[in-house]
Amino acid sequence: MNTLMNPLLATITNVDPWIAICSLATVVITVGMGFWSAGKSKSAGDFFVAGRSVSVGWNASAISGEYLSAASFMGVAGMVMATGYDALWYPVCYACGYLFLLLFIAGPLRRFGAYTIPDFAEGRYDSPLFRKIAVCFVLFIGFFYTMPQMKGAGTTLAYIFPGLPYWVGVAVVGAVITLNVSLGGMKGITLVQAFQYWLKVFAITLPVFILASIVGHYQQHLDANKTAFETVAANSAQVERKALPAKAPKDEQWIAPFGKLTTKAVDASIAAAPTPEAKATLEASKKPYSLLYTYSLIIALVCGTAGLPHILVRFYTNPDGVAAKRTTMWVMILIGVFYVFPPVYGVIGRSLTPELYDAVGAKGTDKVVLELPTLLAGKDHPLLGSILSGITCAGAFAAFMSTFSGLLVSMTSALAHDVYGRILKPNSTPEQRLSAFKWAAVIIGAVSIGLGMQVEALEINFMVGQAFAIAAASYFPLLFMSVWWRGMTMKGAATGMLGGGLTALAAITLTSISDVANAAAKKLPAADVAAYWVDHPIAKSIANFWVAHPLARILCEQPAIWAVPLSITLMIVVSKATARSIPADVRMKMLVLHAPEALGLKQEYIKEHEGLGH
Amino acid sequence: MKTSSTPDHGHTDGFLAHLMRDQLKLSIACALFFVTALVALPLLNYFQPQFMAQRVAGFTLSWLILGVLFFPFVWVISYIFIKRSIALEDAEAAAAKDGLKK
């Protein structure tokens, strides 16, 4: 017993009290609000779509709270610090991708009046089979997106409690959120997520304003990095800057486009090139390949935002299509304001915490947001440093808790509403469906915790980018084409969604296997799955293939540039070939999607009082 | 399960085509501004690296555009879209009601 208790006590006594208080307060408030809301969530409609009564302001805050995940709070800053300019595409496209959602999908989707995306898939094509396919993708994308949130949880708890194993953080946070969701469903988490958005904005802005006023501003630290066209950094003397370790990218690569993030595949090939001629050929292709990588990343992030099931499901909670559009615009403003700040941490972190370049996994650049405020302790502000660290930790907690809550509701709805209520037991009573929701939350929560324990080796933001690529190649084409093309058939929609989504998934899995094996080879304290792949012949042969074919590696790591057109092409070709099976009432369906609410054609696809829809 | 049970309300194919065409035209017009910016910025970085590397208030021009200015640019597009889209829907609803009365 003592062998267990002593390390635990040592861990607890090492904790900064402010960090512990702020983090604990976030958890207590989250759980408390969940309990309070649980008392107000009575019906199935409350659990699945918050009674379709969420106002624009609340919903925009809740969507923003749900969307700003561990990747946004910690991962973006970490990635900007690690790779520089190219990582800016992540926050920009995360925020601006909502424009595609606003322009093409938000209003019509809400007018259709479903509970979930599988509801829409079935309702638009009158096909129960298509519902099953759509459910699988909700779970696929959801689990892909859940893993980085779990990594955020493990990293933050390991930071707060030095010495605490990574997996403990994953298990504790996963269990708390699972409890919250199973108690309050969608209505319960709307309030929690709206609160967490404002907490995250506070937690990301206040520390950086105070920090910048003491250690120097955003542009001063950026100015300290010289470009390839400057002989010396213009502002190097005005701000403190520690020496960069060998692993850090050079200034001119870091501050300019087409840097480490987009060139790592070609760089690996150049390092292994057998002859100077081969090296020269690869050097010449480096920049065009980087441009290709950049465009593919942009497509994945922009189209992926418009295809994330856990975000789309929130649009059903608006009262009508106009409210859905207004909500989208406010979401873009709220998250845009937030996303200006994480890169500031990355830029200042490069100057002041370069030692993070030498660490990997949970101790690497992903923790720069948590680490920077502690520097104030060394600048005669120990109390201020502790308080600000506490605030950023609270923000990190809010980030992965709110996103995981949303993912859990989305995946739980897929399991309880689509699988149980529609496929397994269509005659179930509302009480049985509520009970199924709670059990499904526990099952999905447990699987998420298990998966989260396996991904310490991977970068948070990188994993999120992959989830976006799969969503971009599956749900975005499905929704876009289903809303705007009356000639789409179920077979066309399903073939396109499966063709694009599964090939993107396969391509991403291939790159992940070699990346995980590579991380394990660096002796990262990763879980068994990473260690399993390190000496595996498949992982080795994949890694060798990437070295020989850097273009293939880029196209597999960022598949959106070919997977999205593939998906749309398959949809068009197969729909044309199966034109006879266009739903007979397609005109009415399109009217429901597009006619203004004032005409009275809007319908709730799922009618709660009927229990089973219509 | 099917939506076909909903009454037709007498709206014709022509009405639907007109409705979708007007809505799509507005959406594509707004999307074009956005897509042009998304395509142009990497191309400028590729072909005009020195121009994009010039300093503006400490930022490089490229960093300033992507890390700061892109957000308000998109807010303006979305604001214009919402205003026009609501006006379009009001006009469509009024025209449809007039048509049904006649």
Over residues A438-470, the pLDDT tens digits come to 888 899 999 999 988 877 777 676 777 778 888
Contact indicator for A465, A300 with CB cutoff of 8 Å: yes
Q: Scan residues 98-137 of A and list those with Cβ closer than 8 Å to B.
A: 98-100, 102-104, 107, 122-123, 126, 128
| Confidence tier at A482 by pLDDT (50, 70, 90) | very high
Q: Scan residues 191-250 of A and list those with Cβ closer than 8 Å to B.
A: 217-220, 222-223, 227-229, 234-235
Q: Which site among A102, A232, A235, A305 would you substitute to test the B interface, given the most B Cβ atoms closer than 10 Å to its Cβ?
A: A102
Rounded Cα distance between A412 and A434, Å, is 11
Rounded Cα distance between B19 and A595, Å, is 7
Domain boundaries, chain B: 14-101
Nearest CA in chain A to B55: A223
| Confidence tier at A534 by pLDDT (50, 70, 90) | low
High-pLDDT (> 90) share of chain A, %: 27
Q: Which of A506, A545, A512 is nearest to A530 (CA)?
A: A512
Q: Which of A234, A318, A303, A249 is nearest to A62 (CA)?
A: A318
The pLDDT value recorded for residue A521 is 55
Rounded Cα distance between A335 and A209, Å, is 18
Q: Scan residues 40-59 of B and list those with Cβ closer than 8 Å to A.
A: 42-43, 45-46, 49-50, 52-53, 55, 57-59
The pLDDT value recorded for residue B65 is 96
Residues of B in contact with A337 (CB under 8 A): 71
Look over chain A and give the mean of its residue pLDDT values, rounded to a whole number. 82
- Plot region of B9 (φ>0 → left; ψ -120 to 50 → alpha; else → beta): left
Q: What does chain A come to in residues? A: 614
Q: Which site among B23, B33, B78, B90 would you substitute to test the A interface, given the most A Cβ atoms closer than 10 Å to its Cβ?
A: B78
| Confidence tier at B3 by pLDDT (50, 70, 90) | very low
Identify the architecture of domain A17-610 in CATH.
Up-down Bundle (1.20)
Rounded Cα distance between A231 and A228, Å, is 8
Rounded Cα distance between A338 and A465, Å, is 19
B7 to chain A, minimum CA–CA distance in Å? 9
Q: Which of A90, A58, A59 is nearest to A73 (CA)?
A: A90
Residue type, A362: A
pTM attached to this predicted model? 0.86
Rounded Cα distance between A368 and A73, Å, is 10
Rounded Cα distance between B92 and B25, Å, is 14
Measured distance between the N- and C-terminal CA atoms of chain B, rounded to whole angstroms:
34
Mean pLDDT of A593-608: 66
Q: Which residue has the higher pLDDT, A534 or A328?
A: A328
Rounded Cα distance between A65 and A338, Å, is 11
A291 to chain B, minimum CA–CA distance in Å? 7
Contact indicator for A464, A145 with CB cutoff of 8 Å: yes
Q: Cβ B45–A96 below 8 Å, yes or no?
A: no
Contact indicator for A443, A53 with CB cutoff of 8 Å: no
The residue behind tokens 């638009």 is A124
Mean pLDDT of A256-277: 89
The pLDDT value recorded for residue A40 is 64
Contact indicator for A21, A175 with CB cutoff of 8 Å: no
| Confidence tier at A612 by pLDDT (50, 70, 90) | very low
Domain boundaries, chain A: 17-610
Residue A546: both structure tokens together: 């990437």
The pLDDT value recorded for residue A188 is 62
The pLDDT value recorded for residue B101 is 57
B102 to chain A, minimum CA–CA distance in Å? 16
Q: Cβ A257–B68 below 8 Å, yes or no?
A: no
B77 to chain A, minimum CA–CA distance in Å? 8
| Cβ-based neighbours of A314, under 8 Å, separated by 6 or more | A59, A62, A63, A66, A406
The pLDDT value recorded for residue A294 is 95
A273-300 b/e (C-beta count within 10 Å ≥ 16 → b): beeeeeeeebeeebbebbbbbbbbbbbb
